[in-house]
Amino acid sequence: MIAVRPEADLGFAAAFAPPLLDPARDAPTDVTGRNGKPAGRRYDVYRNNVTVSLIDALAAIYPAVQRITGTDFFRAMARFHVRNTLPISPLLFDYGRDFPDFVANYAHAKDMPWLADVARIERAWLDAYHAADALPLPPARLSAIALERLGDLVLTPHPAARIVRSQYAAVTIFAANRDSAPAARIDASTPEDALITRAEFEVVVRHLPPGGAVFAASLMSGEPLGVSAMAAFDASAEFDIAANIAGLIAAGAFTSIAFGDPA
Amino acid sequence: MITATKPATVPLRFSLPIGGIAGASFKPEHLAAILEAAPQAGFFEVHAENYMGAGGAPHRALEAVRRDHPLSLHGVCMSIGGPQPLDKTHLARFRSLVARYQPALVSEHLAWSTHETSFFNDLLPLPYTEATLACVCDHIDEVQEAIRRPLLLENPSTYVTFRQSTMNETDFLRAITARTGCGLLLDVNNVFVSATNHGYSALDYLGDFPLAHVEEIHLAGHAEQADDDGNLLLIDSHDGPVADAVWKLYEIIVARRGPVPTLIEWDSKIPEWPVLRAEAAAAQAILDRCRTVTETDDRRAA
């Protein structure tokens, strides 16, 4: 049985919460410092804990973005995002899903148009890291299938597999900024697509060849191999079906095979 | 027809009281160093939320540590002290972790972190009134029903007090244990931080604390700031060694309560494993000294 509580006694959270993210608002009046004095800087400890811990959470999810922009730039950008978009889950590794779109529209980052795509790769990296464990499809399974049936083949994507497409060299920029080694000059204008997989415990980010992203995305959405290959050829005349299917399976992008409904 | 699904059999290990042993926060960066050494005598504590992903490296690391050590599962985000109903999805995740890892200790905080749909990622304070007491007790009942075992509730570090509070924290905690049967996690650093911040005696607070219900102790480092009047304001930062004053209080408590599992918490500016291990060894030495004294007293009494 749930008893109804007097609202006045339980309104403390509704009074305490709103100023946490809004420095323009005064501290709530029902909390005090010593001897009934206004809470002042004591309440600010909570404001600081909330904002700083969430900025830290974004920095942990997006280390390459932070390395590219520098810490001060990143933390200022993250602070705006935290104030506009609080987590809705207590699982911090789920936080920051809106951050890449926020970065894409962030006025001070307009001269880094590839930054949002680097963030999208980092977000996919963390999702792959925490995804359910599953054994990847052994490459030998495919060679056992009769050639005439290949077109109807349907593959089950691995829970960790992700694709991120970019009009910029996001994969190269991501890879160059995920560790502390000095980064060489990169031509950012080359479009690159990323395949993110985690066959066992290590997340690997690969650069997909021409047509590869369309092919992989189509397969991962449940389309048969034949349909997916046609879509990939439409996207790029250079598409190499044998190399792409072998590459996806070697990367651990799929867990099992089935055959599409012939109807 | 309703078919009951039998839950998967989980090996029950380290389920008995682990007694007066010291432990440390488990940090993934220490995994290799921990596994390289022979199994430690101590236990490891993790924040439950860090292991609520579906799979991958975090679970593999926890399984590796769990193989040779008792585990303490410390929830940080249940928002037990908040006025709104508990998040059922989160409670289900918490329950699954308890079932999967069979921890020796399971704890949460007297605090809240979620309001409406926003998660604030901090341990926020609550007033101590009959209404909040009833609400907290309902939440603890709900958690204990879900996990099928008693929860240990941790006393908070606070920086403000509520005008509407009608009872002090120790009475509030005592009433919770009486109504719900839960145990207490006594965080001695939190006691020291709150006592300093609000200008009361930590020893008086501890003298009034329901020590018989304490099943785990936390020790951690804190940072120093000042409030608007220049008074010392301590921050529960978990980013350094345990302060001398906190060690002193700990010795007094262990002498009164007897040896209980004691954790060194270190969550930020994390040192190399040997530094953290040495802090745990210092707690173990105090626990062992107390045990020796108790045994000597027993022999004298016999």
Question: Quick one: pLDDT band at residue B39, thresholds 50, 70, 90?
Answer: confident
Pick the residue from chain B with its C-alpha nearest to A84.
B118
Strands B112-115 and B118-124: antiparallel
B29 near B55, Cβ under 8 Å? no
pLDDT band at A181 (very low <50, low <70, confident <90, very high): confident
Q: Cα angle at B193 between B189 and B195, to 5 degrees?
A: 115
- Kindly report the nearest CA distance between residue A79 and chain B, in angstroms: 14
Model pLDDT, residue A182: 75
H or E stretch at B205? helix B202-207
Superfamily name with CATH number, domain B22-295: Divalent-metal-dependent TIM barrel enzymes (3.20.20.150)
Q: Which residues pair with A196 in a beta bridge?
A: A162, A205
How confident is the model over B49-72, as pLDDT tens digits? Answer: 999 999 999 999 999 999 989 999
Residue B92 in contact with partner chain A when CB distance is under 8 A: no
Cα separation of A93 and A89, whole Å? 9
Question: Quick count: other Cβ atoms within 10 Å of Cβ B276?
Answer: 22
Dihedral (Cα; A138, A144, A145, A148), 10-degree rounding: 140
Write down the domain spans for chain A: 14-112, 134-263
Round the average pLDDT of chain B to a whole number and report it.
92
Q: For chain B, give me the number of helices (H) and strands (E)? A: 9, 13
Which residues are paired to B214 by β-bridges? B184
Q: For chain A, what is the mean pLDDT?
A: 93
| pLDDT tier at A9, thresholds 50, 70, 90 | confident
Q: Give residue A115's pLDDT.
A: 98
Q: Which residues contact B36 (CB under 8 A, 6 or more apart)?
A: none
Taking only the tens place, the pLDDT of each residue in A10-44 is 899 999 999 999 999 999 999 999 988 999 999 99
Contact check, Cβ <8 Å, B127/A12: yes
pLDDT attached to residue B219? 98
Is residue B192 a contact partner of residue A61, using CB atoms and an 8 Å limit?
Answer: no
pTM of the model: 0.92
- Choose from B159, B163, B232 for mutation: most chain A CBs within 10 A: B159
The DSSP string of B104-145 is SEEEEESSEEEETTEEEEEEE----SHHHHHHHHHHHHHHHH
Q: B126, A93: Cβ pair inside 8 Å?
A: no
Beta strands across the sheet bearing A204-208: A162-166, A192-197, A204-208
Query: How far is Cα B263 from Cα B213, in angstroms, rounded to an integer?
Result: 17
In angstroms and rounded to an integer, the radius of gyration of the C-alpha atoms of chain B is 19
- pLDDT at residue B302 above 70? no
CATH 2.130.10 applies to domain A134-263: no
Neighbours of A9 (CB within 10 A): 18
Q: Which of A11, A39, A93 lies closest to B53 in CB terms?
A: A93
> Testing the interface with B: which of A29, A34, A56, A135 to mutate, by most B Cβ within 10 A?
A34
Element (H, E) at A153: strand A153-157
What ipTM was predicted for this assembly? Answer: 0.91
The secondary element (H helix, E strand) that includes residue A249 is helix A241-251
Using N-to-C axis directions, what is the helix angle for B169-180 and B130-147, rounded to 10°? 40
Cα dihedral B25/B150/B187/B123 (nearest 10): 80
Nearest CB to A33; choose among B53, B58, B160: B160
